[in-house]
Amino acid sequence: MGRVIVALAGIGLVIFMWGEAANYPPTARKLPDLLGWAVLVLAVLAIAQELLQWGKARLAGEGDAEAIPSSPVDWRGIGLGAGFVALIVAYAWSIEIVGYMVATPLFLALPLLALRPVRLPVAVLTIAVVTAVIYGVFVWFLRLNIPLFPAF
């Protein structure tokens, strides 16, 4: 269920991103459109995969308890999904206040350090590369006037 929540949040983020990009010049709007379609397709595929797993488990009458929707609720999965949704919303909201160059490393560090999917050096490298790519694409390449640093 957590994957479905994250996928739905991704779809919501795409809709938000397309709304924000509607005011961009046509050339600058191409990247958000492309990224939005990629995220949208992946989110729909994730939801379809989860539904297929549920259907197969029901037909077979077996499988783990988390795979069947009528089984007890996986609160940890839902909590993780809701946490990522909250993180995405907080990130989008905070960009106007603290800027991309503060918000991006901070909001990448939170799940990477809390959940530890990778070791610390890899997490730090990932944060640095993603922040540099955002700067390179939006500021250097697209020449968008975006808030880079805190506005206060």
* pLDDT tens by residue, 113-139: 888 888 889 999 999 999 999 888 888
pLDDT for 60-116, tens place per residue?
775 554 544 555 777 887 787 788 878 888 888 888 889 888 999 999 998 888 888
Q: What is the pLDDT of residue 113?
A: 84
pLDDT for 31-64, tens place per residue?
788 888 999 999 999 999 988 988 887 787 755 5
What HEC string does the chain produce? CHHHHHHHHHHHHHHHHHHHHCCCCHHHHHHHHHHHHHHHHHHHHHHHHHHHHHHHHHHHCCCCCCCCCCCCCCHHHHHHHHHHHHHHHHHHHHHHHHCHHHHHHHHHHHHHHHHCCCCHHHHHHHHHHHHHHHHHHHHHHCCCCCCCCCCC
